[in-house]
Amino acid sequence: MSVLLEARNVVKAYGHTPVLRGIDLSIDEGQVVALVGASGSGKSTLLRCLSLLEPVSDGQVFLDGEDITDPSARTDRVRSKFGVVFQAFNLFPHLTVMQNITLAPRRVHGRSRVQAEARGRELLERIGLGGRGSDYPDRLSGGQQQRVAIVRAIAVEPRVLILDEVTSALDPTLVAGVLALVRELAGQGRTIVMATHELGFARQVADRLCVLGEGTIIEQGPPAQVLGEPRDARTRAFLGQVADSGRL
């Protein structure tokens, strides 16, 4: 398998506040990588830097071997290769579910309306929202909205799917449906980078677990190993906190 996405010494600082202090991360095609760590450890910032939603302060990000942080990179075109799902869904409230899903395929990727909607219906069908295409997002539950957001992200067949704590804003009863969809996508061989607090889920789905702390990757490896026999004291401390909250 070849390297699809690579971060080299990625640094991100807001003013004089460092958030990422030099991240090196290499992700192969088809790999599912989970980022875990306490709040404020830089998971979301890293995801945004990888997908060019934030400019890096230093370091480089490569997609398919191309330096996408180079000033000559065409950022809009690069971003269209990422599918990003946000914690708060970020569906467009003034567009229907179907319009949310077909916006990028039609306006960025030049699909016809008929084509885009056919694909949209197929995807909605798969997440059990077949009849809801003409509804506005406000009419859906949080779990349904998040599944629509995921479908919106994959409707353009992105090279990399970025999931930023996609279940954190959801009711526990709605989490399962969203996780099932993510599991299905992971099973299709998609490349996924996700920040998550669901360690149990990460253990099942991820090929690799990266523990972030203080803006660096303090430990990474197969989930079973990182969760089972953590080497770093900070990882153990973090896992202890999570265990106390009953999420493991």
Partner 1 sequence: MTPDADVTGGWRLEPSPVEVARRAVRERRRRQSILTAAVSTTAFVLIVGFAVSSAPGWDRVSATFFSVSVAWDVLPVVAQGLWLNIRVLALAIIFVPAIGLGVALLRTLRGPVFLPLRLFAIAYVDIFRGLPLLLMLYLIGFGVPALRLEGFTPSAFWLGTVAVTITYSSYVSEVFRAGIESIHPSQRLAARSLGLSYPATMRRVILPQAVRNVTPALLNDLVALQKDVGLISILGLYDAIRRAQIEVAASFNFTPYVVAGLLFVALSVPTGRLADAVNLRAARRQQASVA
Decide if residue 92 touches partner 1 (CB under 8 A): no
Close Cβ partners of 5 (under 8 Å, ≥ 6 residues apart): 25, 26, 27, 50, 61, 62, 63, 159, 160, 191, 193
Decide if residue 59 touches partner 1 (CB under 8 A): yes
Ranges within 143-182 binding partner 1 (CB under 8 A): none
Decide if residue 142 touches partner 1 (CB under 8 A): no
Run of H or E residues at 233: helix 233-245
Among 32, 35, 47, 58, binds partner 1 (CB under 8 A): 58
Least separation in angstroms between residue 201's CB and partner 1 is 27
Stretch that binds partner 1, among 31-39, 65-73, 133-141, 160-168 (CB under 8 A): 65-73
Query: Which one, of 219, 240, 241, lies nearest residue 230 by Cα?
Result: 219
- In this complex, which beta carbon is closest to partner 1, that of residue 70 or of residue 122? 70
Decide if residue 30 touches partner 1 (CB under 8 A): no
Stretch that binds partner 1, among 13-21, 168-176, 194-202, 229-237 (CB under 8 A): 13-21
Among 26, 30, 38, 60, binds partner 1 (CB under 8 A): 60
Concatenating the DSSP letter of every residue in 4-58 gives EEEEEEEEEEETTEEEEEEEEEEEETT-EEEEE-STTSSHHHHHHHHTTSS--SE
Decide if residue 13 touches partner 1 (CB under 8 A): yes
- In this complex, which beta carbon is closest to partner 1, that of residue 21 or of residue 159? 21
- In this complex, which beta carbon is closest to partner 1, that of residue 21 or of residue 203? 21
Residue with tokens 């009419």: 139
The bridge status of strand 32-36 relative to strand 191-195 is: parallel
Decide if residue 16 touches partner 1 (CB under 8 A): yes
Least separation in angstroms between residue 76's CB and partner 1 is 17
- In this complex, which beta carbon is closest to partner 1, that of residue 9 or of residue 134? 9
Decide if residue 71 touches partner 1 (CB under 8 A): yes
- Amino acid at the residue 226: V
- In this complex, which beta carbon is closest to partner 1, that of residue 16 or of residue 94? 16
CB atoms near residue 222 (< 10 Å): 13
Run of H or E residues at 84: strand 82-85
**Rounded to 5 degrees, what angle do the CA atoms 50, 66, 159 make?**
55
Least separation in angstroms between residue 48's CB and partner 1 is 12
Residue 166: strand, helix, or coil:
coil
User: What is the maximal distance between C-alpha atoms in the chain?
Assistant: 55
Decide if residue 110 touches partner 1 (CB under 8 A): no
Residue 13 β-bridge partners: 18
| Contact set with partner 1 (CB under 8 A) | 9, 11, 13-14, 16-18, 21-22, 57-60, 69-72
